[in-house]
Amino acid sequence: MMSMQATGTFEVKLMPESLSGIAEKTGLGRMLLDKKFQGDLEASSQGEMLAFRSSVPSSAGYVAMETVSGTLHGRSGSFVLQHSSTMTRGVSEQSITVVPDSGTEDLAGLVGRLVIIIVESQHRYQFDYTLPENA
């Protein structure tokens, strides 16, 4: 396996969507995701997010799934990221991982974890990943 790290920036558009009838009175929010990645990962992604914002300032949580399509260090294909993240009074805890066996084409066998870093409203990513040597 070849261990690598990809870094860069991304832009995200969040589009509110209505919840199901069962969930509409729960305080949850549902959003569509549309992202553009630049840097070592040149890709676009689309997905969906469910989120909850607490009445305590800077406390929230979200889960999301997104399909990423493009090139990673020049290797073409797609993969799926699974998010489960919380913020407790401003302290973030992220779990953003590649769904096992979701990689296609040159990204088949991809395993990895992505970290989102937001500084002064700019979104950056650090993606630590491995690929099979023969990929």
Answer yes or no: are the C-beta atoms of 84 and 99 closer than 8 Å. no
| Amino acid at site 93 | E
Report pLDDT digits (tens) over 106-127: 999 999 999 999 888 899 999 9
Domain that holds residue 41: 2-131
Report the CATH number at residue 76.
2.40.350.10
pLDDT per residue over 53-97, tens digit each?
A: 888 989 999 999 999 999 999 999 999 999 999 999 988 899 999
Using CA atoms, how far apart are residues 72 and 2, in angstroms rounded to an integer? 13
Total domains, the chain: 1
Q: What pTM was estimated for this model as a whole?
A: 0.92
Residue 23 predicted with pLDDT over 90? no
pLDDT tens column, 5-21: 999 999 999 999 998 88
Q: Is the pLDDT of residue 2 over 90?
A: no
Tokens of 1: 């396996």
